[in-house]
Amino acid sequence: MIRLALALFLSLGAVAQADEAAPPLPEPAAPVGAPAEQKSAQKNVNGWGRDNPDCAEWSDACVVCTREACSTPGIACTPKETACRRK
Protein backbone atom coordinates (compact mmCIF):
# COMPACT_ATOMS: atom_id res chain seq x y z
CA MET A 1 0.00 0.00 0.00
CA ILE A 2 2.84 2.36 0.86
CA ARG A 3 4.61 1.47 -2.39
CA LEU A 4 1.45 2.27 -4.36
CA ALA A 5 1.10 5.66 -2.64
CA LEU A 6 4.77 6.42 -3.25
CA ALA A 7 4.50 5.42 -6.93
CA LEU A 8 1.40 7.62 -7.35
CA PHE A 9 3.13 10.56 -5.66
CA LEU A 10 6.22 10.21 -7.87
CA SER A 11 4.17 9.90 -11.05
CA LEU A 12 2.27 13.09 -10.18
CA GLY A 13 5.60 14.86 -9.73
CA ALA A 14 6.74 13.64 -13.13
CA VAL A 15 3.52 14.93 -14.72
CA ALA A 16 4.00 18.33 -13.07
CA GLN A 17 7.57 18.53 -14.40
CA ALA A 18 6.40 17.54 -17.89
CA ASP A 19 3.77 20.31 -17.80
CA GLU A 20 6.42 22.88 -16.84
CA ALA A 21 8.69 21.77 -19.71
CA ALA A 22 5.91 21.81 -22.34
CA PRO A 23 5.77 24.89 -24.57
CA PRO A 24 2.77 27.16 -24.05
CA LEU A 25 -0.27 26.53 -26.21
CA PRO A 26 -0.74 28.97 -29.09
CA GLU A 27 -3.49 31.57 -28.80
CA PRO A 28 -6.63 30.64 -30.74
CA ALA A 29 -6.95 32.31 -34.15
CA ALA A 30 -10.32 33.87 -33.30
CA PRO A 31 -12.29 34.12 -30.08
CA VAL A 32 -15.17 31.75 -29.56
CA GLY A 33 -18.48 33.42 -30.37
CA ALA A 34 -19.25 36.44 -32.49
CA PRO A 35 -16.54 39.01 -33.21
CA ALA A 36 -16.81 42.36 -31.44
CA GLU A 37 -17.97 44.09 -34.65
CA GLN A 38 -20.77 41.57 -35.08
CA LYS A 39 -21.83 41.93 -31.42
CA SER A 40 -21.93 45.70 -31.84
CA ALA A 41 -24.01 45.40 -35.01
CA GLN A 42 -26.37 43.01 -33.23
CA LYS A 43 -26.83 45.55 -30.40
CA ASN A 44 -27.69 48.18 -33.00
CA VAL A 45 -30.25 45.98 -34.75
CA ASN A 46 -31.80 45.02 -31.38
CA GLY A 47 -32.28 48.67 -30.44
CA TRP A 48 -33.52 49.66 -33.91
CA GLY A 49 -37.03 48.49 -33.04
CA ARG A 50 -37.28 50.92 -30.12
CA ASP A 51 -36.56 53.81 -32.48
CA ASN A 52 -39.07 52.52 -35.08
CA PRO A 53 -42.19 51.43 -33.19
CA ASP A 54 -44.30 51.14 -36.38
CA CYS A 55 -42.13 48.28 -37.71
CA ALA A 56 -43.15 44.71 -36.73
CA GLU A 57 -40.10 42.90 -38.19
CA TRP A 58 -36.66 44.27 -39.11
CA SER A 59 -33.33 42.86 -40.22
CA ASP A 60 -29.73 43.74 -41.02
CA ALA A 61 -29.37 40.68 -43.34
CA CYS A 62 -27.80 38.73 -40.44
CA VAL A 63 -30.33 38.99 -37.62
CA VAL A 64 -34.11 39.10 -37.95
CA CYS A 65 -35.95 40.81 -35.09
CA THR A 66 -39.58 41.07 -34.05
CA ARG A 67 -41.10 42.73 -31.01
CA GLU A 68 -40.65 39.45 -29.08
CA ALA A 69 -37.02 38.54 -29.88
CA CYS A 70 -34.17 38.47 -32.38
CA SER A 71 -32.66 35.49 -34.17
CA THR A 72 -29.00 34.59 -33.76
CA PRO A 73 -26.57 35.63 -36.53
CA GLY A 74 -25.09 33.09 -38.90
CA ILE A 75 -21.44 32.10 -38.77
CA ALA A 76 -20.35 33.97 -41.91
CA CYS A 77 -22.50 37.05 -41.79
CA THR A 78 -21.87 40.57 -43.05
CA PRO A 79 -24.42 42.97 -41.54
CA LYS A 80 -25.97 45.56 -43.81
CA GLU A 81 -28.06 48.61 -42.98
CA THR A 82 -31.02 47.69 -40.78
CA ALA A 83 -34.36 47.93 -42.60
CA CYS A 84 -38.00 47.22 -41.84
CA ARG A 85 -39.27 43.98 -43.39
CA ARG A 86 -42.89 44.06 -42.20
CA LYS A 87 -45.06 46.83 -40.75
pTM given for the model: 0.50
Q: Mean pLDDT throughout 45-66?
A: 89
Query: For the segment 3-45, what is each residue's pLDDT rounded down to a tens digit?
Result: 877 677 777 765 545 445 556 655 544 445 555 555 555 557 8
**CB within 8 A of 73, min separation 6: which ones?**
34, 38, 42, 62, 63, 79
Are residues 35 and 43 in contact, defined by beta-carbon separation less than 8 angstroms?
A: no
Check whether 85 has a pLDDT greater than 60: yes
- What contacts 24+ positions apart, CB below 8 Å, involve 69-75? 70/42, 70/45, 70/46, 73/34, 73/38, 73/42
The enclosing H or E element of 78 equals: none
